[in-house]
Amino acid sequence: MSTILVTGGTGTLGRHVGERLRTDGHDVRVLSRHAVPYAVDLRQGGSALDAAVTGADTVVHCATSPRGGDEKAARNLLTAARRAGVAHLVYISIVGVDRVPFGYYRSKLAVERMFEDSGLAWTVLRTTQFHDLLLTLFDGMARLPVLLLPARVKDQPIEVTEVAGRLADLAGAEPAGRVDDMGGPEVRTFDSLARAYLRATGRRRAVAKVPLRGAAYHAFREGGHLAPAQAVGRTTFDEFLAKRFPGRT
């Protein structure tokens, strides 16, 4: 078994990746801003990052922030990985980063290209959005008396533990470049997903579908972030909600 460093290892995805890798018998190092002994801010880099990477056979890069800084973090990580002679880099990306002109997606695509051009062996997996993201989104919307949803937009949410399992398998295998996308089991309208959330949480809110403007909205409306041909996920959003809110659905 190998030594594998998981960046963002305390986050929504990273903690599940680490658990699965340990179950598979790997020696797992968890890196995040507050993890001990590998407390590292990737945007800063430095000797602490070098220490975390040294001796690692594989790095699974799950750390990310929609608020920016992903490209700088990746640059520092790749520099440290080259110095340490890391044999395999694994990166989690998002379906549609090359089709949807959304700022966060552009950053994820830029990091993909940095991995490809790093001179190191790499694997990239793109997935659709996690169930957890929709839950967070709807929780925020539900603070208002009306859920304001983007009109004519669909989503294909996937269970994070299923993605973690796939990432762990990829980390334990040979570098594979860009692998097949991984999508959730259902493509559904935002309206139906929001109403499922309201039923599961017992909240009463009106739902309004609002048409928006801009190239990113148009790309989302056209399904640029979906992968219907790779609907390999098993857990539906309703099943996720039933587990999260037992007795409600």
Mean pLDDT, the chain, whole residue set: 96
Q: Is the pLDDT of residue 50 over 70?
A: yes
pLDDT for residue 11 = 95
189-235 tens-digit pLDDT: 999 999 999 999 999 999 999 999 999 999 999 999 999 999 999 99
Give the tens place of pLDDT for each residue, 53-82: 999 999 999 999 988 999 999 999 999 999
- The predicted pLDDT at position 248 comes to 63
pLDDT for the residue numbered 140: 96
**Above 70 in pLDDT, residue 91?**
yes
pLDDT band at residue 113 using 50, 70 and 90 as cut-offs: very high
Band the pLDDT of 46: cuts 50, 70, 90: very high
Identify the band that residue 247 occupies on the pLDDT scale cut at 50, 70 and 90: confident
pLDDT at residue 42 in the model: 97
Provide mean pLDDT across the span 103-108. 97
Higher pLDDT, 145 or 247: 145
> Is the model's pLDDT at 249 over the cut of 60?
no
In the prediction, which pLDDT does 111 show?
98
pLDDT for position 1: 81
DSSP structure string for the chain: --EEEEETTTSTTHHHHHHHHHHTT-EEEEEBSS-SS-B--TTT-SHHHHHHHTT-SEEEE----TTS-HHHHHHHHHHHHHHHT-SEEEEEEETTTTT---HHHHHHHHHHHHHHTSSS-EEEEEE--BHHHHHHHHHHHTTSSEEEEETT-EE--B-HHHHHHHHHHHHTS---EEPPPB--S--EEHHHHHHHHHHHHT---EEEEE---SHHHHHHHTTTT--GGG------HHHHHHHHSTTT-
- pTM assigned to the model: 0.96
